[in-house]
Amino acid sequence: MEELGPHTAWSWGVVSGPSFADELVRGLPTAVTLASPDEAFAQRAAAVLHDGNLRVYTSPDIIGVSVGGALKNVMAIAAGICDGMEFGNNARAALISRGLAEMTRFGVCLGGKRETFMGLAGAGDLILTCTGQYSRNREVGLRLASGQTLEQILHSLGHVAEGVHTAHEVMRRAAQLKVEMPITCEVDQVLSQGQSPRKALENLLSREQKAETL
């Protein structure tokens, strides 16, 4: 939207959701969200993309879908660290749940809709990226937990891991907005400041007791 302007003559949209390309090209069932400020365009584009194995939902929430698509990568790095440290299924589920709350706070503050984060572009994509075997960002977390340096990981990964660059930028924006983002903060500390993965998880576990909120 910043590039095209609010009154662009071009119709456009954002597609996001739990969709590993490897499974999509093999024709395995997949569902995604297509967000656009132009409802008619969204419906036409969804109809073109929609087929027997790909279900496309529409949404007007460009901000929410975009934030979900970006922040789930940061949470996946955290989940990879958690799995790599062998903290168990309980810890991973808690991290995903609190990660979703964190994503929602940030996205709503930017103007996104809370319900978007409960859908495919929020919870759906987050769960997949934090648990799936094809997740590059989760792989970064796993390797960090094994003791590899970020430089070593990025050199050998062979693919872009978007969360590596997203974490620091999100923390910069969160500071401006005064949005609390403890998981993103710890991931950023590991990636940018060389904090150990174990210390990051210990910091999260030692936070003061509070009521559960979104």
Query: Among all residues, which ones are annotated catalytic?
Result: 72
Residue showing tokens 């990226």? 129
SS3 string of the chain? CCCCCCCCCCCCCEEECCCCHHHHHCCCCEEEEEECCCHHHHHHHHHHHCCCCEEEEEECCHHHHHHHHHHHHHHHHHHHHHHHCCCCHHHHHHHHHHHHHHHHHHHHHHCCCHHHHHCHHHHHHHHHHHHCCCCHHHHHHHHHHCCCCHHHHHHHHCCCCCHHHHHHHHHHHHHHHCCCCHHHHHHHHHHHHCCCHHHHHHHHHCCCCCCCCC
- Cβ atoms within 10 A of the Cβ of 53, count? 13
